[in-house]
Structure 1
Amino acid sequence: MLDLFSVSDKFTEPVRRQVIPQLLLSKSTLLDGLLACAISWAGDVDDSGNFRRLTACYRHASSAIATLMTLEATSPETMMEALMLGALVSSFAVKLRVNDVLAICSRTLALIKPIYNTSDPKEPEPLVFMSCMVMWEIRGCLFSCGMPTLRFRTPEKSYVDRHAGLCASVIPCFYDVCKLSHALSKGPVDTTDIYMELESIEEYVRTWQPEPPEDFTDRFDTVEVTHMLCQVQVMRQALLLIAHRLRFPFGVNDGPAQILSLTILSQLETTLTATRSIVRCVDLALLVACLELKGAERQKWLNDITKFTGFSPQFGEHVKQTLESFWAGMDSFEILSWSELVKLGSPFLRNQHLI
């Protein structure tokens, strides 16, 4: 299951070696989360004939969430404990409770924020789940004009992130875009400063280049390198596309947006053709790009959306429903701002309450 949330299978064993000692040290805190995660990904737990296992899975998940709601992070050690519990419960949610992913991630990040903001960002390994949790929250906040809990702190040294590959250094840009989207959604505002900040983000993203570590091509094979370079490009284009749509509503200046959309989708298709495997952890770029589709192209990508999004079939179906609701809203209006669109569409990764 670990490989589904990683850009490469080579992260599976190192993450396992890191997780097991933490589980042994924090058994009472993490056990229910581990069991909920393990049972939910066991294969057939969501089938109608497995009521006993499904009931047990939800019982452990509910207990783990209750623990998460009362947990306190007062040190780097308890921060790691809370982050791992949140990662376990959110992994369960990606499989069986997609609408609770945002709430779980937001709660976890709020819990660890005071310690995280004063911790040493030089070494990324102790916080191996951090980028994954941050990006799940960003997905939900982006499509609700919400404000993310914290801004990802990029480690000083170059490294390959388990979830973000070579894109870790632009994760803060997604936070910044969400912040501006949130500000624009609040009603009539002076957009001068907001548009200047958008231009600054766009300029940075256009000139940004990833910094692979020295052992990059030795550590990863040709297919993995190809996938991570594709991830770099589609995430860069997704940031530019979101920034464009915050400045220009759907129906206004559509040409540049359609070019960016085509670039993202073409890169994903070309990489699949060349490597015969799907690029992982690019669902955000895929969803943003598909918003721009018209006519027959919509159905073509809708048919393949579960395959390209990865993670769980349930998450793929959730993305499909989100897209269809957004397209319906866009077809009802000639001009539609980003904030108006997310209000019309079905909730993405969010519900009003936890389990």
Structure 2
Amino acid sequence: MTPKACDQCYRNKEKCSFTLAAEKRLGRRPNSKSFVHGSLHIWDYERGNQIETNNSRSSTRASNCISPSTSASCLDLALPREKKEDDEQDVPLARVLDQILQYHSTLQTTTDAMRIVTHDVQFAVIHIPFTMGRSFMNDLRNSVYSVLSQSAPTLTDGYIAFLVLVAHCQASRLYCTTPDLYRGARALRVLRNIKTVRHQDAVGILLLGQVLFVFEILTDTFTSSAHSIVRSALISARRWYPFLLQEPRFDTITICPIIMDTVCCLVYREVPVIRLCIQNRIIVDRFMGVSSTLMPLLYDLCVISHIAKSATAGITLNSPRTIDEEHPDDCYSDIEKSIEDWVPTLPPDFLSAYDKAEVQMMLTQANVYRLAGLLVIHRLRYPFGVRDSVAQHYANCIFSEMSSSCAALTQDGMRALPIMFPLWISMFEVEGPGEDLLEKFSCFPLPSVCMSKLCGFVKHVRMAKESGYNGLWFDLVENNLHFAVIP
């Protein structure tokens, strides 16, 4: 039986009065909406009649937020992009850099960094020195956005310090800025102390290692710690590399540190942290191009060189007095043959997927790195004064490869130039062509800054040769090379 009065009216002996409300009263709570499990929605409130606009914006933000239950894949987050005028892509480089530098002092938080990451033109201007061309920019941008979203505490300080310094370098104003050493130190502390418990942590650490490497080489006139920064990141991420290298979406972050470490190890005769060996797919990397299959050979060369350096028997074996100069049969023979026979593996759509300048850059890089490997082997065998003509032949071949591609490579100065290591070691052997190429490459600000510092060691090696030094140039590195070697 339906009661005719509520408990209160029954006690007071009153009759209940029922009113049907056609509309919801003002002040009533809104009906709760069901959100996707694990999502965090942040609502914006504005005055006036903009409720629908706010709801629309909130829905957009919610779709891009990080969900703890769906963060298993580090690089699967959608990248929101700012709307721009149609002609903004044609804004001069100097004006874009001015816009960034005008508010660089306000870059303090992850949100501030994200403003640049989600801006097409500003992101490209800052990051183009680290890619072969614009064809690689979208993948790099998606990767940086995802890693920064999921590893903000790890990456923010180092990334902001990197952004500001690279912007000044691109604008040729490096001399008039003070690097944010406080942020750099905090980021370095994170790199040293972080524990990698997930593959997302490993990817974040690898990106942090790269941005801190760049920060270090642009900050100091003399630095011996930049290589150790990259090695530290690789060591922290090493146990995750077998998984990361099977996932193409991680390539933009995971491949570059390997060539950075390998090149330095060739010079210092050390063993790289990672041996890159991928057999089930073809890699075309933003920085390594089509040379990924050469990296295992250079790794093996580093191992052999390190053993020869460390073992007295190996050093004796490789002495030029005990080697047949015409038919050397020593510990370098097999790896020399492998590098000599190496050719890059190209994907079927290589010529159509990339523009002409990018193709030229990648093929040039592959050729000069193969020649550089052979030149390194020759100088590990023979000190200055022994078979110098062969070393000069390799050096001139490297200069010729670069010169023939120079017009295509320098047409806009807007790309990475990862051929500095072959150029640098060739300058030990022949004077003149290397300086001419550096003059032509002056439109690339970041490599030019680094090579201007590395040329100090070139001068030292040449002076040693002129004074009668008849040892290996590798033996001069420990006490006389005061700057990081760049690829």
Please tell me whether residue 174 in structure 1 is matched to residue 298 in structure 2: yes
In structure 2, the partner of 1:4 is: 129
Residue 69 of structure 1 pairs with residue 192 of structure 2: yes
Task: Report the Cα offset of residue 95 of structure 1.
Answer: 2.2
Aligned to 1:353: none
1:247 to 363, 374, 381: 381
Determine which structure has the larger helix proportion and give its number: 1
| Letter aligned with residue 10 of structure 1 | S
Structure 2 residues not aligned, in runs of 5+: 1-125, 319-328
Cα separation, 2, equivalents of 1:328 and 1:187: 29
Query: How far did residue 159 of structure 1 move?
Result: 2.4
Aligned residues of 2:428 and 2:462 also touching (Cα < 8 A): yes
TM-score normalised by length of structure 2: 0.65
Work out which structure has the larger RCO, using CA pairs closer than 8 Å and 6 or more positions apart in sequence: 1
Q: Equivalent residue for 1:142?
A: 266
1:114 CA displacement: 2.2
Distance 1:208 1:129, change over 3 A: same
Matched residue SS, 2:229:
helix
Q: Would the aligned equivalents of 1:326 and 1:345 in 2 still touch at CA under 8 Å?
A: no
- TM-superposed deviation, 1:185: 2.5
Q: 1:86 to 1:229 in 2, by over 3 A?
A: same
| Letter paired with 2:185 | S
Alignment of 1:41 onto 2:175: no
Unmatched runs of 5 consecutive residues or more in structure 1: 351-355
Deviations 1:193-228 (A, max 9, x none): 886442111111222221111221111112221221
Q: 2: distance between equivalents of 1:305 and 1:178?
A: 31
Q: Matched residues in 1 for 2:330 and 2:390: separation? A: 19
Task: Give the superposed CA RMSD.
Answer: 2.6
Percent of aligned pairs sharing the same letter: 23
Larger Rg over CA atoms: 2
Residue identity in the other structure for 1:162: R
Residue 288, structure 1, aligned to residue 432, structure 2 = no
- Following the alignment from structure 2 to structure 1, what is the Cα–Cα distance between the partners of residues 417 and 237? 27
State the Cα distance separating 1:157 from its structure 2 match.
Answer: 0.7
Query: Does residue 154 in structure 1 map to residue 278 in structure 2?
Result: yes
Question: Following the alignment from structure 1 to structure 2, what is the Cα–Cα distance between the partners of residues 309 and 332?
Answer: 34
| Alignment pair present for 1:206 and 2:340 | yes
Would the aligned equivalents of 2:290 and 2:346 in 1 still touch at CA under 8 Å? yes
Q: Is the 8 A contact 1:230 1:267 kept in 2?
A: yes
Larger deviation, residues 219-228 vs 333-342: 333-342
Which of 185, 201, 214 is matched with 1:91 structurally?
214
Please report how far the alpha carbon of residue 69 of structure 1 lies from its aligned counterpart in structure 2 after TM superposition. 0.5
1:315, distance to aligned residue in structure 2 (A):
0.9
Partner Cα separation in structure 2 for residue 251 and residue 199 of structure 1: 21
Post-superposition shift, 1:125? Answer: 2.9
Distance 2:386 2:188 in 1: 44
Deviation string 1:27-79 (CA, Å, 9 cap, x unpaired) is 1111101111111112166334x44xx3xx21111110000000112332221
TM-score of the superposition, structure 1-length normalised?
Answer: 0.87
The change in CA–CA distance for 1:276 and 1:66 in structure 2 (over 3 A counts) is closer
Which amino acid counterpart does residue 42 of structure 1 have in structure 2? A
Between the aligned partners of 2:240 and 2:217, the Cα distance in structure 1 is 26
Does 2:148 correspond to 1:23? yes
Matches of 1:337 and 1:308, distance apart in 2: 33
Distance in 2 of aligned mates of 1:156 and 1:119 = 13
- Partner of 1:311: helix, strand, or coil? helix
The answer as to whether partners of 1:310 and 1:316 remain within 8 angstroms in 2 is no
Which residue of 2 is the match for residue 122 of structure 1?
246
